[in-house]
Amino acid sequence: MKVLGIETSCDETATAIYTADKGLIANAIYSQIPIHAKYGGVVPELASRDHIRKLIPLIDKVIEDANLTKDQIDGIAYTSTPGLIGALLVGAAVGKSLGFALNIPTIAVHHMEAHLLAPMLEEQKPLFPFVALLVSGGHSMLVEVEEFGKYTLLGETLDDAAGEAFDKVAKLLGLPYPGGPAVAKLAEQGDKKRFHFPRPMIDRPGLDFSFSGLKTFTVNTLHKQGDDSQTKADIACAFQEAVVDTLVIKCRRALEQTNLSRLVIAGGVSANLLLRQKLKKMAKKHHAEVFYPRFEFCTDNAAMIAYAGYLHLAAGQHDGMEILAQARMPLGEEV
Ligand code: KG4
Ligand code: ZN
């Protein structure tokens, strides 16, 4: 079975082909970062318009790269939720129409399910069951993954997502969008002993997160301490340490609570090197193993969509005639 994957939920247009026998055979991405960077964040209308321009050429590209023709594709998977509704609709409408024209099944994929399955594209893949920490620009959640399709939400953010907090703090510090990598880079020049930021929600039981207080603490520190370049680097460093420590503490608790010893980290923030370092240390101490997707599959991509779609189609599922797109949808509900 050969599955074409389409991702257009936010600011990346991406396509990929996953096959039953050879795995991932083609993968292409076009990032809209230069379009949105000057506005300091994603402009939804510009995102939708650019997906319209880029998606069909990117579909042609992966089919050509894979040495296939359109009629050799057996199924199409597209991200249907969560995301920017206009952006999602582009992928959904194109995916569905192509499926109709080729007379092949289509499947709507939950973007967060695809993120949590992304480490399965690697050689060293996790076995089920595992705990997944999904940390992206729109979501922060801990999920118990019993097997493919069986997900229990253990905790989520009550306000800002981890990536969103990075993006907002980057803006405060005058750094470009996307903020995560920029804050991480500036933090390298910071003195981690100068400021100590709070680790939100760690003294409360449960596995929920909250990052908006930390953002306010950052604003206040910046106002009080001035904004010379060393202070900015020290603040970036203290902020990153606080977010990372909070995530690591919650992961440890999730492993303890579920009695599991495998941890999967996915979503854009899983590219953060300090997070990886500290999780490695924690996992070693608790005899647990940590799994990540390769860097390019931490952030948005279509390989994970093609793969998740392949698993659904291989399990005999596919959608009806309707074009499915929804801005929000809890993980685990029917997409
Ligand atoms: O998964 P993703 O590509 O898109 C969403 O589905 O949201 O995640 C993007 C988020 C952005 O907020 C970005 O700032 C953050 O991931 N991010 C990082 C790093 N790389 C990307 N955050 C912290 N450190 C990084 N190295
Ligand atoms: Zn994502």
Give the DSSP H or E segment for 22.
none
Taking 80 as the threshold, does the pLDDT of residue 333 lie above it? no
Mean per-residue pLDDT, 21-37:
96
Closest ligand by atom to 163 CA: 1
77 — alpha (psi -120 to 50), left (phi > 0) or beta?
A: beta
Beta bridge partners of 131: 144, 263
Report the candidate in 128, 132, 179, 178 with the shortest Cα–Cα distance to residue 156. 132
CATH 3.30.420.40: which residues of the chain?
A: 2-116+297-314, 127-292
pLDDT score at 202: 80
CA of 158 to the centre of ligand 1 (A): 18
pLDDT score at 335: 67
| CB distance 129 to ligand 1 below 6 Å | no
Mean per-residue pLDDT, 255-267:
97
Residue with tokens 């101490």: 285
CA 94 to chain centre: 22
Q: In this structure, which CATH number among 3.90.550.10, 3.30.565.10, 3.40.30.10, 3.30.420.40 belongs to the domain 2-116+297-314?
A: 3.30.420.40
CA of 45 to the centre of ligand 2 (A): 18
Give per-residue pLDDT as tens, 103-120: 999 999 999 999 999 999
> Mutate which of 42, 113, 166 to test ligand 1's pocket (most atoms within 8 Å of Cβ)?
166
pLDDT score at 134: 96
Mean per-residue pLDDT, 265-274:
95
The Cα–Cα gap between 323 and 304 comes to 20
CA of 73 to the centre of ligand 2 (A): 25
Nearest CA to ligand 1 atom 13: 180
The answer to whether the CB of 104 falls within 8 A of the CB of 19 is no
pLDDT score at 205: 83
| CB distance 138 to ligand 1 below 6 Å | yes
The Cα–Cα gap between 207 and 138 comes to 18
Taking 80 as the threshold, does the pLDDT of residue 300 lie above it? yes
| CB distance 180 to ligand 1 below 6 Å | yes
CA of 134 to the centre of ligand 2 (A): 9
- CATH for 127-292? 3.30.420.40
The mean pLDDT of the chain is: 95
Percentage of residues in the chain having pLDDT higher than 90 = 91
CA of 172 to the centre of ligand 1 (A): 17
| CB distance 167 to ligand 1 below 6 Å | yes
pLDDT score at 226: 84
- In this structure, of 162-176, 195-209, 236-250, the range with the lowest mean pLDDT score is 195-209
Mean per-residue pLDDT, 309-330:
94
CA of 298 to the centre of ligand 1 (A): 8
Mean per-residue pLDDT, 283-308:
96
pLDDT score at 181: 96
pLDDT band at 200 (very low <50, low <70, confident <90, very high): confident
| CB distance 163 to ligand 1 below 6 Å | yes
* For the chain, counts of helices (H) and of strands (E): 10, 10
Give per-residue pLDDT as tens, 63-97: 999 999 999 999 999 999 999 999 999 999 999 99
Taking 80 as the threshold, does the pLDDT of residue 334 lie above it? no
pLDDT band at 201 (very low <50, low <70, confident <90, very high): confident
The answer to whether the CB of 205 falls within 8 A of the CB of 155 is no
Q: Can you tell me whether residue 106 is helix, strand or coil?
A: strand
| CB distance 41 to ligand 1 below 6 Å | no
Give the tokens for residue 17. 């082909």
